[in-house]
């Protein structure tokens, strides 16, 4: 079951993960976090996130594999925003069917705006 305010953050860097969690929680979003791909897929087994923020460089799986697993479970319409330091962010985001991307380092206010704008429904 999906919650319109549920965001899954998949980021292996604990500092960035904490920063994102804090910024999104301050906006009243229900934020779940995972430090790797397997953790993200496990969290998504019980609850469909309204949106996923996905780092493409994870320690255990590729971001593309995580995106494919999430979309396989929850449908191709699951909005994913890719977060990466890679110079080919736009191409990689398109390859995984993402609705947007952020390049590290990113502005936290911009991240929050993008997430709020991309949430499928707002209360």
pLDDT tens figures, 81-101? 999 998 899 999 999 999 999
pLDDT at site 121:
62
8-43 residue pLDDT tens? 999 999 999 999 999 999 999 999 999 999 999 999
Please tell me the distance from the alpha carbon of residue 63 to that of residue 2, in angstroms, as a whole number: 22
- In this structure, are residues 5 and 49 in contact, taking their beta carbons and an 8 Å threshold? no
What b/e string do you get for 107-120 counting C-beta neighbours within 10 Å, with b at 16 or more? eeeebbebbeebbe
User: pLDDT-based confidence at 2, cuts 50/70/90?
Assistant: low
pLDDT at site 41:
97
State yes or no: pLDDT of 104 exceeds 50: yes
Give all domains of the chain, ordered by start, each with its CATH number. Answer: 6-103 (3.40.50.2300)
pLDDT at site 4:
84
Please tell me the distance from the alpha carbon of residue 32 to that of residue 25, in angstroms, as a whole number: 10
User: Where do the H-state alpha helices sit in 13-96?
Assistant: 14-25, 37-46, 63-74, 89-95
């Amino acid at each position: 079951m999906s919650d319109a305010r549920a965001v899954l953050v998949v980021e292996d860097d604990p500092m960035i993960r904490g920063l994102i969690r804090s910024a999104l929680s301050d906006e009243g979003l229900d934020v779940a976090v995972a430090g790797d791909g397997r953790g993200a897929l496990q969290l998504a087994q019980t609850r469909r996130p309204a949106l996923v923020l996905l780092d493409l460089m994870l320690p255990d799986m590729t971001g593309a594999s995580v995106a494919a697993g999430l979309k396989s479970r929850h449908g191709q319409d699951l909005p994913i925003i890719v977060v990466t330091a890679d110079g080919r962010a736009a191409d990689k985001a398109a390859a995984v069917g993402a609705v947007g991307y952020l390049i590290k380092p990113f502005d936290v206010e911009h991240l929050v705006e993008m997430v709020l704008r991309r949430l499928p429904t707002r209360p």
